[in-house]
Chains A and B, each alone.
Chain A
Amino acid sequence: METLLANLALGFSVAFSLENLTFALLGAFIGTAIGVLPGIGPVATISLLLPITFGMSPTTAIIMLAGIYYGAQYGGSTTAILLNLPGEVSSVVTVIEGYKMARNGRAGAALATAALGSFFAGSVATVVVAASGPLLTSIALSFGPADYFSLMFLGLIISAVLAQGSIVKGIGMVVLGVGLGLVGTDVQTGQQRFTFGVPELSDGVDFVAIAMGMFGIAEIILNLERPESRNVLTNKVGSLYLTREEFRRAVPSVLRGTLLGTVIGILPGGGASLSSFGSYMIERKVSKYRHLFGTGAIEGVAGPEAANNAAAQASFIPLLTLGIPANAVMALMVGALIIQGIQPGPRMVEAQPDLFWGLICSMWVGNLMLLIINLPMIGMWVKLLEVPYRHLYPAIMIFCAIGMYSINNNVFDVYLMVLFGLFGYLCSKVKLEGAPLLIGFVLGPMMEEHLRRAMLLSRGDVMVFVERPISASMLAISAIALLAMMLPNLRAGKEKAMAEGG
């Protein structure tokens, strides 16, 4: 307990330095903005801003990037409530009840519920990260190479199982990502693999090019072909204060959402969007006011919004303790850390206490900032919604291009980004998901290293993966997850949840 307090004190001293406060605010601000704007999400934005972070200290960089991710969860709800359009994937279900509330003249109350629920969830998740971090780290330190391999395998399986659409296609994209990650110089023998003699590829495919191409550029083209019908129907936000009755109804939903979001966030492959779907389904089943769903029930806003913010923050747990990204945003964080010369993993807590505790404390500070950014300043975000997409996409495109060029001062990377933009567009036309590919890409090289080491230690005996208890249980869970999704009942349930959400 005392060490926890000492650690938190360290964290707050880091988080409250002027530089970190400024960049946490900047991150929260940018996050809210892109959350509010439909058509640009956290993955594209974070990859867009990665080049900017190279000059910062690693702690400041991660604090800002994290702010963008959870800031987007706040901003997304504004658009959902006022525009009947999700600003982010994670606020898709908020649209259903939130917009109805706005039509009933309770837009302000819906916004306040979303922001306060998110703040509560964010605070709880921060404590969970702080408490579980060191605990999980100490367990992780006893992991051998075989255990690591199986853990990553589990992460990949779950991220494919939970991805939208077909599982086989999801796993296919994961494996393709692993394959792409193998491009470049083989670490152990120095042999060039799949580089076609191109010197730029000897360090591997730049993952910023993949992320910007598939999530930034491809997204622009997809948005352009779907002409937008954006009209703010609710210019009147109304009172931000909740009535006593509304408050009383929202509290249990927020609590349930927070719990669910924290649990799903920790799972590999889980993340903000899945947890808000889940929370909506639960609220509709267990809420005392479930008969009011469809008419603007506050539970349908409070639960999912709390859940997505809790999940956004809890998904930092596997990253910070095991070095394993739970979703595409976390895959970008791994990239950001590696560029800064930090290998994410269980040793990070000891080697980089400033970063670990500073990030945790900054999350709480950031949530407080977001509350202020989102509630009293709501008018500004409504104004932002009036910026048409035609003025937005050239800016996104140009920032991608300059940012990509500036990473290595090489136009090759820009062409690579174009290639992945084309590929991303193709993928979305045939319903192949980009997120599993990105996670596979980041995990692929790590898996190869651990696999080689494990097999070397076991003298080529594959049984090592089932003989070690940790590894064996990971593989068992993977198998159960796969089998469970093959069951027609469960799969129908997942598809139903996704269909109702989308």
Chain B
Amino acid sequence: MKINQKDLLAGLILMAFAVAGLWLNMDHTLGNARRMGPGYMPMLAFGLLLALSIAVVALSTISGPEKLERWAWRELFLILAAICVFALILEKAGMILTLVVSISIASLADRTHKPLGVLGLIAFLVALCYLVFIQWLDIRIPVWPTYFGY
């Protein structure tokens, strides 16, 4: 079999969205072609997506052979974790502390980083973000930890 694993997975992903969309769309009134309800366009879109996803899956049996690539789990996890931690602590810990933590986590994703370089990078980015976001753009974001303060 010359299965194209990438196409197969791509088709299954699209199919999952289509099925989920059609299923969730059962809550919405369809209406008719003249007076479309909130469910009409989703029905068309996800119905078409389902058809396309079936086509992608079907084509994957002849468009191969192609194997899935390896995933960079470590990099993926560290970068996404760094941003999640950012979102988690920002409003309590303030921008500066959050940046220090978040950049530290992200720097683990590249093995060529050296501790001193990371420190310099943190100092530079904290200063830059302070100037751009606080001084210039004046966005509403706590700068220092507010947990104990208020």
Query: Across the interface, do A429 and B68 meet the contact criterion of CB distance under 8 Å?
Result: yes
Task: Please report whether the interface of chain A is mostly helix, strand, loop or mixed according to DSSP.
Answer: helix
Query: Across the interface, do B52 and A422 meet the contact criterion of CB distance under 8 Å?
Result: no
Query: Across the interface, do B59 and A414 meet the contact criterion of CB distance under 8 Å?
Result: no
Query: Across the interface, do B37 and A189 meet the contact criterion of CB distance under 8 Å?
Result: yes
In the complex, what's the smallest C-beta–C-beta distance from B66 to chain A, in angstroms?
A: 9
In the complex, what's the smallest C-beta–C-beta distance from B144 to chain A, in angstroms?
A: 16
Expressed in whole angstroms, the Cα–Cα distance for A55 and B10 within the complex equals 40
Pick the contact of B83: A191, A389, A417 (CB < 8 A).
A417
Within 8 A of B (CB), among A157-197: 166, 168-169, 171-173, 175-176, 178-179, 182, 186, 188-189, 191, 193-194
Task: Please report whether the interface of chain B is mostly helix, strand, loop or mixed according to DSSP.
Answer: helix
Report the nearest A residue to B120, measured CB to CB: A391
Expressed in whole angstroms, the Cα–Cα distance for A357 and B88 within the complex equals 44
Expressed in whole angstroms, the Cα–Cα distance for A36 and B129 within the complex equals 23
Number of B interface residues at 8 Å Cβ cutoff, please give it. Answer: 69
Pick the contact of B38: A179, A186, A217, A414 (CB < 8 A).
A186
Within 8 A of A (CB), among B26-46: 28-29, 32-42, 45-46
Query: Across the interface, do B83 and A411 meet the contact criterion of CB distance under 8 Å?
Result: no
Query: Across the interface, do B137 and A169 meet the contact criterion of CB distance under 8 Å?
Result: no
Given contacts A393-B106, A409-B140, contact A456 B13 (CB under 8 A): no
* CB-defined contacts of B121 to chain A, threshold 8 Å: 391, 394
> Which of A289-297, A299-307, A396-404 forms part of the interface with chain B?
A396-404
If A182-B42, A189-B29 are given as contacts, then 16 extra A-B residue pairs at C-beta distance below 8 Å, sorted by A number, are: A171-B52, A172-B52, A176-B14, A179-B17, A191-B28, A221-B72, A225-B75, A388-B112, A398-B86, A398-B102, A398-B125, A411-B91, A427-B13, A448-B41, A451-B36, A455-B34
Q: Could you list which residues of chain B lie within 8 angstroms of chain A, going by C-beta atoms?
A: 6-7, 9-10, 13-14, 17, 21, 24-25, 28-29, 32-42, 45-46, 48-49, 52-53, 55-56, 59, 63, 68-69, 71-72, 75-76, 79-80, 82-84, 86-88, 90-91, 95, 99, 102-103, 106-107, 109-110, 112-113, 117, 121, 125, 128-129, 133, 137, 139-141
Give 25 pairs: A residue, B residue, CB < 8 Å, sorted on A: A169-B56, A171-B52, A172-B10, A172-B52, A186-B28, A189-B29, A191-B28, A193-B42, A194-B24, A194-B42, A224-B75, A225-B72, A390-B110, A394-B107, A399-B129, A402-B141, A405-B87, A411-B87, A422-B80, A431-B7, A431-B10, A432-B10, A444-B45, A455-B34, A455-B36
